[in-house]
Structure 1
């Protein structure tokens, strides 16, 4: 049962859900928001959901871009959301790739990033929603006990 002090949250994957997945996106010029994504997220904001982004970023482990490259793009993306009236509480990322860095709890389908947010923000998982574009996103939400796990392809016009 949700208590007064627990929050409900919307967890979003990044590549393929928020932006077109062009493979290892780390530059603004390559970042293209999916059509309809701002409107979709705004509906959750008006319903009182906290907004979180959870993203695997194995390009860091692969040496394709640096942590700073990723963080710079993330700040820009959050600002674009702010301009649309969408406050992103926090962005969690997994920089690992098991073949290179060894196993971790945060790489989806593992629920580590979601579990961390649940603890940090006192979120009620069963009243929360996860939206992703891949089975590993949905599995991560289910593994964390998220009440509703949805594919972005079923929610907006999807051209990626």
Structure 2
């Protein structure tokens, strides 16, 4: 397991930690070669990538499109840790917390079904909502911990 100190140590001059990021259609098209590029990264020793589901204009993208990106990467580089970021609390028009929570959970489930290893929901979120999101979203890792722990 990586510790915060280990992760911090990866951020250094001369040999930085590099994470590709697909945040709009143009970058997704570039990464589409997504799967091929991710496979090349994995071959170079990269252990994980992050895929976002919002665009440069601050809008949530169609979750089906985002799921296709996740699937392309997970298929081409099955050993790569694929973190799917879902942004209902980060971008978009104001909505009530329950609506944003439902949207984040639905998107997380879709991305996990498409092959994501983990899910990240950014934003200033109250702890009770974080707890709800964690309970509602089971990643492959939490399933393994549940079975063995």
Length-normalised TM-score, structure 2 = 0.38
* Bigger fraction of residues in strand: 1
* Bigger Rg over Cα: 2
Which structure has more RCO (C-alpha within 8 Å, separation ≥ 6)?
1
- Higher relative helix content: 2
Provide the TM-score with structure 1 as the length reference: 0.36
